[in-house]
Amino acid sequence: MIQSNADFETIVKNHQEKVRNICYRFVKNREDADDLAQEVFMQVYESLSYFRKEANISTWIYRIAVNKSLDFLRKKKRKKRFGQLVSIVGFGEKQESEVVIPSGDNPHRNVEAVERKEILDNAIDKLPENQKKAIVLSRYEEFSNKEIAEIMNLSVSAVEALIHRAKRNLHQLLYQYFERKV
């Protein structure tokens, strides 16, 4: 339980990097990730009185981060659909997607890496939400299955099944993609 601002500061400092990176994994934009991470801790601050002492505060905070990130993506998708509709009709501005510029060391390697990253991210985006959560937390953030189970409020075996299905579906999606290219 927060006794003072010093406690809250400690909580923020201990969790901010993980929270920022969790948000970044889902929203793939630094500014949005930072903004969301701030919103996460504001919710933590406002809800701390409701937090059950016996639960793990870290998994509670990461759960808020995951849920806020997915809410953000849902809203963004709806806005995008609306924006596309408006631009088709001829009223809105053209939607601009974020351009990722590779760093200068090895331009060929970096362009390839960026492209592969984008291909992987697009495939992950197509996964069902729970599979997406599980695979992102497992492969990107290296949470253990037990930690993921606590964050997602599931059993460990359910998480294992989700990760297994996610890997299988990812493979299928990537196969379909490269089948057209190769």
Cβ closest to another protein, residue 152 vs residue 170: 170
> Rounded CA gap, 131 and 19, in Å?
19
Among 75, 77, 117, 168, which residue sits at the site for another protein (rule: CB under 8 A)? Answer: 117
d(CA 65, CA 136) in angstroms, rounded, equals 13
For position 171 contacting another protein by CB under 8 A, the verdict is yes
Residue whose CB is less far from another protein, 94 or 181 = 181
Site for another protein in 137-166 (CB under 8 A): 139-140
Residues ≥6 apart with Cβ < 8 Å to 58: 15
Q: Select the span of 35-43, 65-73, 89-97, 126-134 touching another protein (CB under 8 A).
A: 35-43
Least distance from C-beta 119 to another protein, angstroms? Answer: 6
Instruction: List interacting residues with another protein (CB under 8 A).
Output: 9, 12-13, 16-17, 20-21, 24, 30, 33-34, 37-38, 41-42, 45, 113, 116-117, 119-120, 139-140, 170-171, 174-175, 178-179, 181-182
